[in-house]
Amino acid sequence: MARKRAVAEAVQVADEATMRPVRLELKADLHRLLRLLSADADVSMASYARDVLARHIKDEAKRKGIKG
């Protein structure tokens, strides 16, 4: 008879995701500009918006002396 194989332990999932979703609603003109700018940069709209917003948030926090 064949030996029983040890049951593989479940892989632990991180308690907190590294990325957190945020909903952002834009007016039609801003959405159009975002589409054009992201196409010019050859990245997705989400990626472009994420990068621009992250840069702005970091600059603003630095300006106000907030450490995070």
What's residue 16's pLDDT? 63
Global pTM?
0.70
Alpha-carbon dihedral sign for residues 38, 42, 43, 44: positive
Give the pLDDT of residue 13: 61
User: Torsion over CA of 12, 15, 18 and 19, rounded to 10 degrees?
Assistant: 120
Q: What whole-number distance in Å separates Cα of residue 23 and Cα of residue 67?
A: 24
pLDDT value of position 8: 63
Predicted confidence pLDDT, tens digits, the chain (68 residues): 677 777 666 666 666 668 999 999 999 999 999 999 999 999 999 999 999 999 999 999 999 999 87
pLDDT (0 to 100) of residue 66: 95
Q: Which tokens go with 7?
A: 């049951």
Res 25: pLDDT: 97
